[in-house]
Amino acid sequence: MILLFTGLLLDSPSHILCGLHTIIFTEDALITDYVLVAGAGAALVNSALVTAISILFLQHCKEAPNGLTLVVIGLMSGFSLFGKNFVNIWPFLIGTRLYAAMRHESFGKYLPTSLMSTALAPIVSYFVLDNGGAALPIGILTGMLIGFIMPALSAYTYKVQNGMNLYNVGFASGLLAFLIVPVISSFGASPTTRYHWATDSDRIFAVLLGSLCLLLIISGLFCCCRSPKRVWLSYRALLRTSGRAPSDYLRMFGPAPVLVNIGINGLIGLAFIILSGGNLNGPTAGGILTIMGFSAFGKHAKNILPIMGGVVLGSMMMQWSLADGAVQLAGLFCTTLAPIAGYFGWSFGVLAGFLHSAVVLHTSSPVAGMNLYNNGFSGGLVAIVLYALLIAIVQHRRPEIQNEDYFDIVENDNPSVPRTAFHMTEQVDQPDDAP
């Protein structure tokens, strides 16, 4: 509702309708800022519609809310500012629904993965729009196929990354895009990356995001039937976790400290963009909303700041500027590697962010910007390499998550809410009143 009303305040209904038409008929490869191509009002209304669709599906499936529920809401609202719209997400949902029917299982079990698989929504838009609508059936069938296979693929990639990359579906989407894009290119297609980047919407998003973060912090401290002191004690206990996936903070600590964590992390992301001289627009606002969503599932101030510091260090030593659009996104989405800082220490978190800042700038081009979760793919590559090296050379200790836990997840075919979640999350000292 906040997104909807803000969008309606910023523009007239007629302009918003025209902007929504533009959004639907725009190819969405990275980076396509809906704020630039359609206006801030239309971009926010599109985000509101996509978020509402996601919430209604989650409500309809009657799955118990958990940390991943907030992750999905953050992802869908954020990325619907630069790549997802209320039209190109439907084939993925239909495909996963067919997968659940084939398995004779509840659609709700796979719904979070289905919604996150819309990372490849630009592929659907490309097929339909690049061919003047002639390839509409191909685009729909491709989206359905992706939605159908993503639950099984993401279950396996979850195991491979050892819980060190929070954007697991982004890594799975990157692997799939590395297969799809070369295949369609071999048939004569020529998808290309985009760079539509708004530079005049800083004040709008600074006020919107800043107010939202403060509202969440106040809600956590004063509106959850717990004293502010006890909420703060629970939040400090949350800060002592590594964030290694799966870390369902909503179930571990309850809503109050999670709301505080979401608000504080959102302010950190906002401060990063402002202090680095970046722009607040669709993509960067989407990155901040993504950080806020994952604040219920692994991210907190102590494990994201070292990763961001690694990106800043990279800007000082490498041949690119922190003010570049792609680097600003890397500085926000690099927090997918927060578990490395939380598990191995802040110094290795800085190293992970430093490596990520270089890798992510070269992983989008081979897939022509078709994977919106590009940072999740590059984060997965960094996580796989670093984890193996640190365990074998530096830490000399066995991982807390054993192989049998991962294989159990694969058998469940549900990487989103594994049955072994509570066995796989480290124990922390909690205050007496913690749930």
Supply the pLDDT for residue 407. 35
SS3 81: coil
Beta strands in 80-227 (DSSP E): none
Supply the pLDDT for residue 62. 82
Cα gap 299→291, rounded to integer Å = 7
Cα gap 269→207, rounded to integer Å = 14
Phi and psi angles of residue 32, each rounded to the nearest 5 degrees, phi first: -115, 100
Cα gap 281→284, rounded to integer Å = 6
Supply the pLDDT for residue 395. 66
Supply the pLDDT for residue 321. 84
Q: Which domain holds residue 369?
A: 1-435
* Residues comprising the chain, all counted: 435
Distance of alpha carbon 405 from the chain centroid: 24
> Rg (Cα) of the chain, in Å, rounded?
20
Which amino acid type is present at position 43? A
Number of domains in the chain: 1
Supply the pLDDT for residue 371. 95
Report whether 376 contacts 336 (CB < 8 A). Answer: yes
CA distances to 47, 167, 392 from 73, in Å: 10, 14, 37
Name the CA dihedral angle for 423, 350, 257, 259, rounded to a multiple of 10 degrees.
-110
Supply the pLDDT for residue 396. 53
Total Cβ atoms within 10 A of residue 178 = 15
Structure tokens, 223:
């509106």
Cα gap 45→49, rounded to integer Å = 6
Q: Mention every residue, 6+ apart, whose C-beta is less than 8 A from residue 412.
A: 155, 418, 419
Supply the pLDDT for residue 64. 82
Report whether 160 contacts 410 (CB < 8 A). Answer: no
pLDDT under 70: residue ranges of the chain: 131-134, 395-435
Tell me the pTM: 0.90
Supply the pLDDT for residue 341. 95
